[in-house]
């Protein structure tokens, strides 16, 4: 019998696209289309079991071995630095991590810069590399409000289409890093289930090449 591979998928729009990719690569699990409340789906013939996980939690499941592989945004990997292997760039969910501010914002290097963000580690490292003193204001959402209400000077956040910034009269000041979804693997699982993982990675990589 083949070893079952446990796969953590990010719940939501990105997850649907990721699942389609796995399906095209030959690891389909048709029951996944039937039920929208269930969180675990298995196809014993293909030896895969999928879990729907909150996108920001995928790396936790994989790091701790509850899932052998999973798909997480590069933003989460940079922010939390989980101890996992990054196997493939799936080129899905593409966006960028950027600094944004009001159009009239002018940086005064004599003052500590107030930065509102969900990504404290990324912001900290980015400004440390430029020798800029900052004060992180950690928010959980609606980050765009912070500069409008004077809570912060700038924000560090994900920009995809730029619509959210535009609608709130903010502009990108600098791009920090491009972001996309990555296939990650648990380090121990990568040894013990190497054959199954390598097979799925090769099929997905082939699928990605063909879709270019």
CA distance 82 to 66: 14
Told to check if 79 binds ligand PRP by CB under 6 A, we report no
Q: Which of 16, 81, 160, 195 binds ligand PRP (CB under 6 A)?
A: 160
181-185 and 85-89 as β-strands: parallel, antiparallel, unpaired? antiparallel
Told to check if 120 binds ligand PRP by CB under 6 A, we report no
For residue 190, the minimal CB distance to ligand PRP (Å) is 29
For residue 93, the minimal CB distance to ligand PRP (Å) is 10
For residue 155, the minimal CB distance to ligand PRP (Å) is 9
Q: Using the Cα atoms of residue 100, residue 105, residue 107 and residue 108 in order, give the sign of their dihedral.
A: negative
Q: Comparing C-alpha atoms, which of 54, 27, 51, 56 is closest to residue 39? A: 51
Nearer to ligand PRP, 14 or 200 (CB): 14
Q: Which of 9, 53, 98, 159 binds ligand PRP (CB under 6 A)?
A: 159
Q: Comparing C-alpha atoms, which of 119, 105, 187, 182 is closest to residue 150? A: 105
Nearer to ligand PRP, 27 or 52 (CB): 52
Which listed range, 26-34, 68-76, 160-168, 200-208, lies at the site for ligand PRP (CB under 6 A)? 160-168
C-alpha Rg value of the chain to the nearest Å = 20
Told to check if 164 binds ligand PRP by CB under 6 A, we report yes
Nearer to ligand PRP, 14 or 69 (CB): 14
Backbone angles phi, psi at 44, to 5 degrees: -60, -35
For residue 182, the minimal CB distance to ligand PRP (Å) is 17
CA distance 124 to 129: 9
């Amino acid at each position: 019998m083949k070893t079952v591979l446990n796969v953590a998928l990010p719940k939501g729009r990105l997850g649907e696209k990721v699942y389609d990719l796995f399906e095209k690569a030959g690891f389909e699990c048709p029951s996944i289309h039937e039920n929208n409340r269930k969180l675990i789906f298995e196809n014993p013939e293909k030896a895969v079991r999928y879990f729907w996980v909150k996108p920001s939690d995928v790396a936790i499941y994989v790091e701790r071995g509850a899932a052998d592989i999973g798909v997480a945004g590069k933003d989460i990997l940079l922010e939390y630095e989980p101890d996992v292997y990054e196997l493939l760039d799936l080129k899905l969910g593409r966006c960028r991590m950027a600094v944004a501010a009001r159009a009239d914002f002018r940086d005064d290097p004599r003052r500590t810069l107030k930065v509102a963000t969900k990504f404290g580690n990324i912001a900290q490292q980015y400004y440390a590399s430029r020798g800029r003193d900052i004060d992180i204001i950690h928010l959980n959402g609606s980050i765009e409000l912070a500069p409008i209400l004077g809570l912060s000077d700038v924000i560090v956040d994900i920009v995809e289409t730029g619509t959210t910034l535009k609608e709130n009269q903010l502009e990108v000041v600098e791009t920090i890093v491009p972001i996309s979804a990555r296939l990650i693997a648990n380090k121990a699982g990568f040894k013990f289930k190497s054959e199954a993982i390598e097979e799925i990675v090769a099929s997905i990589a082939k699928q990605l090449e063909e879709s270019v």
